[in-house]
A and B are shown apart, each in its own frame.
Chain A
Amino acid sequence: MLSVEGLRSKYGRIEVLHGVDLEVKSGEIVSVIGANGAGKTTLLRCLSGVQPASGGSLMFRGDDISKLPAHRRVGLGLAQSPEGRQIFTNLSVEENLRLGAYLFADARVDKDMADAFAMFPVLKEKRNLSAGGLSGGQQQMLAIARALMARPTCVLLDEPSMGLAPILVDQILEVVKSLKSLDVTVLLVEQNAFAALSIADRGYVMETGRITMSGPAAELIADPRIREAYLGI
């Protein structure tokens, strides 16, 4: 589905990704864990095309997407729920969702919106309210739902658990897990390593712009180095 080889990226003259290799197969949930500043968000920004890559290749469903502008990548089925939610605070909840399906204007938009409301009933209650007035957890739900409105085959989730109460984290993770049944492949980036690995098929560990470990999520959870460094056990 998504294949990244030797991906490099820099902010100004400072390189922050030093050749990242990563593979996401169709139907998988893959988690990238790592500390703050490891380059996880930059990786997703490169994948979505809102941060330029300075080297390496990016293949999505067999196409080289590394030269495509961001909006074309969304059109190919690669959507992102960005770090810090980034919802449109000046628009209503429903308008945010509608803009998630900006590239579409057919009957399925309404159906997808109904599905989004079924997934997050609280958004339905607040559909006509300004999205800027939602709580942090509700904004996170909206960001995920908005990404799903783009009919992605692969969705990139950046820190969906950040800043949320534990009960909300569980609720969000349940939703991420359920995406599998909707045939949506997931690439999840998280500091919350245990939560991310517990729902993933495979995982990668990222440190200072490089992938340092990878493997099936169950093995990573059991690995003593990871348990010490990321799980605090």
Chain B
Amino acid sequence: MSDLLQFVFSGLTVGAVYALVALGFTIIYNASDVVNFSQGEFVMLGGMSTVFLSAAGVPLPAAAILAVVITALVGVALNKFAIEPARNASVVTIIIITIGASIFLRGVAQIVFDKQLHRFESFSGDVPIEILGATILPQSVWVIFGAAVIFTGLYLFFTRTLTGKAVLATANNRLAARLVGINTNFIMTLSFALSAAIGAVAGVLVTPITLTSYDIGIALALKGFAAAMLGGMGNPFGALVGGLVVGLIEALTAGYISSTYKDAAAFIVILAVLFVMPSGLFGRAAVNRV
């Protein structure tokens, strides 16, 4: 019983990170129909920037905030210089551009930072908290709590604010959005900034547990993408559930079978689900009255 709880804690922690990466995919996908494969690099940039800023003497909280801002600016620049000039290209072309951008960002990170593994201090120490015989790291609580705050905040943003609804409207019908006076280029910029910032927050939160290096983005993007597909691409709630499910399957497989099979198990479940429900668990059912 305490074993199970232990695996669940670890699954929720890693699942929360996947959910944040999936959420980043979802936001850009909704605004542009593009799957942004440099999403994992945003996570890397968040963690690595924090490491190097705090090594340069910036206090950790300020370094973390600064890292999120820097990453958001990188996201804006990515949209401005790589995506916007190719606005009239096909979606597949733009997706390939994002793959190129992710390789570029990794390369730059190798030069600007280095190729070592890094971490910084946990926010609230490393003394495990004991719950019902299992233990959880205080940093894990930070990760789960942070993901919860971001999902709640984003939910409120999309349902309660006019700008949030403008994002949804642009996703639904770009032509109509322009005709009611929405600056759809701004919405794209905003989406990239938001996605990048969310990725960076995930990177900042998880680095004390998993460590970070210039190339952690590849695996995270893959898992986050799988989580987004599982939940249904384009659905923020699906991103949350997809991320947590992938994280839990991994942790339970690693715990009860072998950590060698944890990636395989996650992908087998995803394939099985997509086989039965091609648009994912909460995917958009395409219902349009003509």
List A residues at the B interface (Cβ < 8 Å): 48-50, 69-71, 74-75, 79-80, 82, 86-91, 95, 98-100, 102-103, 105, 132-136, 139, 146-147, 149-150
Do residues B173 and A71 form an inter-chain contact, with CB atoms below 8 A?
no
A69: chain B residues within 8 A (beta carbon): 183
Do residues B289 and A74 form an inter-chain contact, with CB atoms below 8 A?
no
A100: chain B residues within 8 A (beta carbon): 180
Do residues A74 and B172 form an inter-chain contact, with CB atoms below 8 A?
no
A interface footprint on B180-201 (CB within 8 Å = 1, 0 otherwise): 1111100000000000000000
B177: chain A residues within 8 A (beta carbon): 88, 99
| A-contacting residues, B127-181, CB 8 Å | 162, 165-166, 168-169, 171-173, 175-181
A134: chain B residues within 8 A (beta carbon): 289
Do residues A99 and B175 form an inter-chain contact, with CB atoms below 8 A?
no
Do residues A133 and B289 form an inter-chain contact, with CB atoms below 8 A?
yes
B168: chain A residues within 8 A (beta carbon): 88, 90-91
B289: chain A residues within 8 A (beta carbon): 89, 132-136, 139
Complex Cα gap A95–B165 (Å): 8
B171: chain A residues within 8 A (beta carbon): 90
Closest 7 pairs (CB-CB, A-B): A74-B181, A86-B176, A70-B178, A90-B172, A103-B181, A71-B183, A71-B181
Do residues B181 and A150 form an inter-chain contact, with CB atoms below 8 A?
yes
Question: 18 new A-B pairs (CB below 8 Å) besides A49-B178, A82-B175, A99-B162?
Answer: A70-B179, A71-B178, A71-B181, A71-B183, A71-B184, A74-B180, A86-B173, A87-B176, A88-B168, A88-B169, A89-B172, A90-B171, A91-B169, A95-B165, A99-B169, A100-B180, A139-B289, A150-B181
Whether B260 is near chain A, meaning CB under 8 Å from some CB there, is no
- Name the CB-closest residue of B to A103: B181
What are 15 A-B residue pairs whose CB atoms fall within 8 Å in the complex? A50-B175, A50-B178, A71-B183, A71-B184, A74-B179, A82-B175, A88-B168, A88-B169, A91-B168, A100-B180, A102-B162, A102-B180, A136-B289, A139-B289, A147-B180
- Name the CB-closest residue of A to B176: A86
A102: chain B residues within 8 A (beta carbon): 162, 166, 180-182
B158 CB to closest chain A CB, in angstroms? 10
Do residues A88 and B181 form an inter-chain contact, with CB atoms below 8 A?
no
Partner of B182, one of A99, A105, A149: A99
| A-contacting residues, B238-290, CB 8 Å | 287-290
B211 CB to closest chain A CB, in angstroms? 40
A interface footprint on B8-43 (CB within 8 Å = 1, 0 otherwise): 000000000000000000000000000000000000
Do residues B180 and A150 form an inter-chain contact, with CB atoms below 8 A?
yes
B172: chain A residues within 8 A (beta carbon): 88-91
B218 CB to closest chain A CB, in angstroms? 33
Complex Cα gap A147–B173 (Å): 15
B176: chain A residues within 8 A (beta carbon): 82, 86-88
B287: chain A residues within 8 A (beta carbon): 132
Complex Cα gap A127–B233 (Å): 28
B179: chain A residues within 8 A (beta carbon): 48, 50, 70, 74, 79-80, 82, 86, 147
B155 CB to closest chain A CB, in angstroms? 15
Complex Cα gap A16–B183 (Å): 27
- Name the CB-closest residue of A to B171: A90
- Name the CB-closest residue of A to B185: A69
Partner of A105, one of B162, B173, B175, B184: B162
A116 CB to closest chain B CB, in angstroms? 14
B181: chain A residues within 8 A (beta carbon): 70-71, 74-75, 102-103, 150
Q: Which of B171, B172, B176, B178 has the most C-beta atoms of chain A within 10 angstroms of its own C-beta? A: B176
Complex Cα gap A103–B140 (Å): 42
| A-contacting residues, B39-84, CB 8 Å | none
A88: chain B residues within 8 A (beta carbon): 168-169, 172-173, 176-177
Complex Cα gap A39–B148 (Å): 51
Complex Cα gap A69–B178 (Å): 9
B35 CB to closest chain A CB, in angstroms? 19
- Name the CB-closest residue of A to B174: A50
Partner of B165, one of A74, A79, A98: A98
Complex Cα gap A105–B166 (Å): 14
Complex Cα gap A134–B287 (Å): 12
Complex Cα gap A105–B171 (Å): 22
- Name the CB-closest residue of B to A87: B176
B12 CB to closest chain A CB, in angstroms? 30
- Name the CB-closest residue of B to A70: B178
Complex Cα gap A135–B290 (Å): 9
- Name the CB-closest residue of A to B289: A132
